[in-house]
Chain A
Amino acid sequence: MTKTCISCGMPMTKPVDYPNGDTTKDYCVHCARADGSMQSFEEKRISMAEFIMRTQGLDDAAALRAAEAHMRKQPAWREC
């Protein structure tokens, strides 16, 4: 059942990792909106930067750069 989120690259190993427990989805709970759809590039870029700032206290410009670089390697955003 282990898949990798196409938006952020996080491993998804159990139903709670998926949006609303839906294991048919290719993206994780942290990349989903409240309605279960996948966040846009811009939405995810900001939330990932916030995650980086929360976990390492980086300057926001550095966090945004790192978030974008990480996302562009993921299947959902390679073509952007």
Chain B
Amino acid sequence: MKTLDVARLAGISHGAIFVHFPTREALLEACVEEFGRRMGEALHELAENNRGLEERLLAHLSAIRKEEAFYTAIVRERSILPQGARDTFTAVQSMVSHHFEDCPGKKPDMTKETNHALLFNTWIALVHHYLGNRDLFVRDGESVVARWGDVLVHHFVSLINIKS
């Protein structure tokens, strides 16, 4: 998206953007950071209240849904985004993963042997597959999270609850 389009959508002059963001890259990075901040707020509250994994996964998807088009674009283009936006996104993902650690109700044999990073990456891979290939899973204009969110959460939770 061009900065000119951003300005038009925001109802401000093109120059006004560059008062706050020196480059298009800086604007993109700030958007990723703001997305992460909102995601963090939502997840932090659940962790504070000791909510279970299922609730946290649902909250993760709910935050994605609020900016589904933006998040999907980030996911699709991540490896070719400017380095600043990539680094910011990496930090956001670690923050999300951290909020999935130490959930109550984990089965005892899961907590000792499992690699948390692998579990997190499995969840992310699942979500990103549906988002990144939305034309396969939803109609035009339909939300992937709205249609598939509950299914993906329940599937993932039942997968990781299987005793080895």
Contact = CB atoms under 8 A, between A and B. Distances in A.
A11 B44 contact: yes
A57 B118 CA distance: 7
A54 interface: yes
Q: Interface on chain B toward A: helix, strand, loop, or mixed SS?
A: helix
Contacts of B83: 69
Nearest to A8: B91
Interface stretch (B12-20, B66-74, B92-100): B92-100
Contacts of A53: 117
Interface residues of A, number: 14
Interface string A56-67: 111000100110
B87 A65 contact: yes
Interface in A16-74: 51-58, 62, 65-66, 69-70
Nearest to B117: A57
Counting chain B residues whose Cβ lies within 8 A of the other chain, the interface size class is 10 to 19
Interface string B33-69: 0000000100010000000000000000000000000
A23 to B, nearest CB: 17
B94 A51 contact: yes
A57 B87 CA distance: 15
A70 B87 contact: yes
A52 B84 contact: no
Interface of B: 40, 44, 83-84, 87-88, 90-91, 93-94, 97-98, 101, 115-118, 120-121
Interface of A: 11, 51-58, 62, 65-66, 69-70
Given A11-B40, A70-B88, 8 more contacts: A53-B117, A54-B116, A56-B121, A57-B121, A66-B90, A70-B87, A70-B90, A70-B91
Q: Which 9 A-B pairs have the closest CB atoms?
A: A57-B117, A69-B87, A55-B97, A66-B90, A55-B94, A70-B91, A52-B94, A66-B87, A56-B117
16 contacts: A51-B98, A52-B91, A53-B117, A54-B116, A54-B117, A55-B97, A55-B116, A55-B117, A56-B94, A56-B117, A57-B117, A57-B118, A57-B121, A62-B90, A66-B90, A69-B88
